[in-house]
Amino acid sequence: MQTHEIRRRFLDHFVKAGHTEVPSASLILADPNLLFVNAGMVPFVPFFLGQQTPPYDRATSVQKCVRTLDIEEVGKTTRHNTFFQMAGNFSFGDYFKEEAIAFAWSLLTGSVEDGGYGIDPEKLWVTVYLDDDEAFAIWRDKMNVPEARIQRRGMKDNYWSMGIPGPCGPCSEIFYDRGPEYGVEGGPEADEDRYIEIWNLVFMQNERGVGISKDDYPILGPLPKKNIDTGMGVERVAFLLQGVENVYETDLLRPVIDKAAELTGALYGDKHEDDVHFRVIADHARTAAMLIVDGVNPGNDGRGYVLRRLLRRIVRSARLLGADRPTMAEFMAVVRDTMAPSYPELATNFARIETVAVGEETAFLKTLGTGSKLFEGAVDAAKAEGRTVLGGTAAFTLHDTYGFPIDLTLEMASEAGLSVDEDGFRSLMAEQRQRAKDDARARKHAHADMTVYKELLDRGPTEFTGFGELVTEAHVLAVITGGERLHTATAGQKVELILDRSPLYAESGGQIADIGTITGPGLKIKVDDVQKIAKQLWTHKVTVVEGQVTEGDAVLVQVDPEWRKGATQGHSGTHLVHAALREVLGPNAVQAGSLNKPGYLRFDFSWPGALSEQQKQDIEVVTNEAVAANYPVNTFVTDLDKAKKMGAMALFGENYGDEVRVVEIGGPFSMELCGGTHVQHSSHVGTVTLLGEQSVGSGVRRVEAYVGLDSYRHLAKERALLAGLSSTLKVPSEEVPGRVESLIERLKAAEKELEKTRAANVAAAAGGYAGKAQRVGDLLVVADAAPEGVAGNDLRTLASDVRGRLGSEPAVVLLLGNTEGKVPFVVATTKAAQSMGIKAGDLVASFGPAIGGRGGGKPDMAQGSGSNPSGIPAALDAFRARLSELAG
């Protein structure tokens, strides 16, 4: 059963049981205690604590999770993943232990035909908290689990919390028995390698305090309600249902390992050291892609440092496996292809994922090239002096000059048989931080007085006049550059101007700033941008075109009227689209961000999946019906409580004071809290054309649209494009889609025929190679170059076919490809040759150096790749010479 199917069955099971399906939250939440979301229940914590009222009594989700405490263990064992998916069902004061246990048991043991996982109940063991007699009795009496397969465990194992103050409670875990070949009898208490935990049912009823370990913290008291929080490990259930050895063998991670084998020439399963590197690549590539798509960028601290570390471990592992060129783009593409069915944002945002990951790889490859030489020199020096510790100064230089994270230095030193003077390293780091602080203080005294804005704020906020007029008389309060008061500026200078009044809108609430001019006698200034300081002070970023501006000058400030017209169209259009989304999709389609500017709007909203074509059409129709209705646009100021009672909606990410401005379009059609500029009637927005809809994060979708003249220009361009296609295809415009679809089908059919022809040619070539077999002692030998372009599975198939045509005699086949500067190869042996002690994997060493290649495999077949096509003749000669030795 594929992992995506496991996820779907879980959600369907609980939706049928009355749960609301909740999309996975982002891995990044505004919680100062958490670097990443590390458990499925994290997004629901405010509900468990009673801080917020949940909009549902029971919910289900498959939550993205990342845990990074065990990064060093990834790959060394098959039990650690940094990214994983936690499927859960949650009750907020609704049902409790008996129902939760029954829900889990029925899904795990229910038949596949009925939507279950079809697990044999005899394979399942359960654990309960020491004194939880109620849970013990439910398992025994209601689920009919024998007492011998129910074990009581202590607080460390069966009392759950997030590891920080918050909700907690006793839990009951479900384990799967993999069989005697994986360990000793005796249940989870005896062996957790044989008995794998797959589900944890937390009976969340208490709140914990601060503690230092899993079983050393105070219980502060009961929660407002008894809740259920469960977590089923999707990856663990997947490897059990797919009949593979571990999570790295499943359908989501094995393809990354296979790609790494293809790119490096190494073989997974050949030796433990290489297997560790393969698993590091598979795990970290997936985690990195998921972090990037949720907005994390590589950096030197916090989340950014974790991402950087993951990406750099991928690069280094690939190099250690034999990669001699960049590999990151291909790893990320495999992650996209395997994970996108559940997380479509990986596909829609792949350009950003690839750019971030490849950029970090490029930078780190340079780091490795120079820093590794320094590291190797330091290691050689230490060993020559008989030391077993790499000095702190060397570690600091690697970090400070070459960007080596200390974790990488520790890892490389360990591989070289050395430890690192971490205390010395951290002492030098502390000295560097102190120097940076001293330097910052020196610069502050030498340059601008950074209190300049505070002094201006003390005079009161900027008076914004732009709601009622586009031209305002004002006075210049300050001329600033780089935080320093200049008092005056002349033609050619770019400065900031602080005015007492301004009609120019300062960027906020998704609306970008106005542009315009500031003029006076002999003075002309171009306003490029307007921003807010402390939400009160307008700072105008300007270029002085003519004359001189001085503090105290009286000036005339004017908004570009065409710009403002387009800006109001875009902003009012955003409100109309928001209202249309809620009318078509329902009240759960709430705003999650926006951007509007002249002629264009972008709107992000919470929604669990892609919109259908019909939904997109309906949204566009409702929006344009509101435009045609010519609704009046009214604005008024009231207090926040009254606005909320009226049903006014708050904008994403905006903080409000006691008094708020309400923008009302068409009475109940749209009412939002908004400080932006708007049209006077909805018809002034003009036609709204949706450009598309996409995912921008888990549970967040984005629509984009043109408005006004930009909408007309877009539609005109589309009309011209359709007319061109109609003319080229010689069909009426309404038949263009059908004709294009027909052409695509014909193209696909032609490609299939080409593929059949290519496969037939490969098969036909086998006879020719078999006919050229040479006798070397008692061996038949085929050693030759494959047809140009043949590689991968085709090369393997060809070698196997040639071997089959050589009959039962002792025979060995070597075929060397030449594809884009790479030399893929396959060695195949017959059973008779193997009985003579000739093994395919052992033969690689005889010819591999000539082509700069490496590889391996089993006695009957081995494969790999080299990087030196010019060495093919020498490789063939070396191979034949080795077989002559073996044949006597």
What residues are designated binding site?
Answer: 571, 575, 674, 678
Could you give the 3-state DSSP secondary structure of residue 532? strand
Q: How far apart are CA 857 and CA 266, in angstroms?
A: 9
Biggest alpha carbon distance in the chain? 104
Contact 674, 665 (CB under 8 A): no
Q: How far apart are CA 847 and CA 841, in angstroms?
A: 12
Q: How far apart are CA 259 and CA 244, in angstroms?
A: 19
Output the six-digit token pair for 796.
């393997």
Output the six-digit token pair for 440.
């910052």
Q: Known binding site for Zn(2+): residues?
A: 571, 575, 674, 678
For the beta sheet containing 633-639, the strands, ordered from the edge strand earlier in sequence to the opposite edge, are 633-639, 659-665, 670-673
* Residue from 403, 183, 238, 452 nearest 305 by CA: 403
* Residue from 855, 859, 775, 886 nearest 322 by CA: 855
Contact 564, 531 (CB under 8 A): no
Q: Write down how long the chain is.
A: 888
Q: How far apart are CA 396 and CA 405, in angstroms?
A: 9
Output the six-digit token pair for 420.
């690192």
In this structure, the strands spanning 861-866 and 854-857 are antiparallel
Per DSSP, the residues of 408-472 read HHHHHHHHTT-EE-HHHHHHHHHHHHHHHHHHHHHHHHHS--TTHHHHHHTT---EE-TTT-SEE
Q: What is the dihedral of CA 381, 386, 392, 395, to 10 degrees?
A: 40
Q: What angle do CA 118, 122, 123 make, to 5 degrees?
A: 75
* b (16+ CB within 10 A) / e for 535-568: eebbbbbbebeebebebebebebbbbeebbbbbb
**Cβ–Cβ contacts within 10 Å for residue 284, how many?**
27
Burial class (CB in 10 A: 0-12, 13-18, 19+), 39: buried
Q: How far apart are CA 33 and CA 286, in angstroms?
A: 24
Q: What angle do CA 7, 9, 14 make, to 5 degrees?
A: 100
Q: How far apart are CA 433 and CA 439, in angstroms?
A: 10
- Three-state SS letters, 239-257: HHHCCCCCHHHCCCCHHHH
Residue 886, C-beta contacts closer than 8 angstroms, at least 6 positions apart: 779, 836, 837, 838
Q: Name the phi and psi angles at 481, rounded to 5.
A: -145, 130
The H or E element that residue 801 is part of is helix 792-805
Output the six-digit token pair for 82.
């940094």
Provide the terminal-to-terminal Cα distance of the chain, rounded to the nearest Å: 51
Q: How far is CA 800 from CA 43, 794, 813, in A?
A: 54, 10, 8
Could you give the 3-state DSSP secondary structure of residue 237? helix
Q: Name the phi and psi angles at 386, rounded to 5.
A: 75, 20
Residue 622, C-beta contacts closer than 8 angstroms, at least 6 positions apart: 579, 580, 583, 584
Q: How far apart are CA 463 and CA 452, in angstroms?
A: 19
Q: How far apart are CA 692 and CA 704, in angstroms?
A: 6
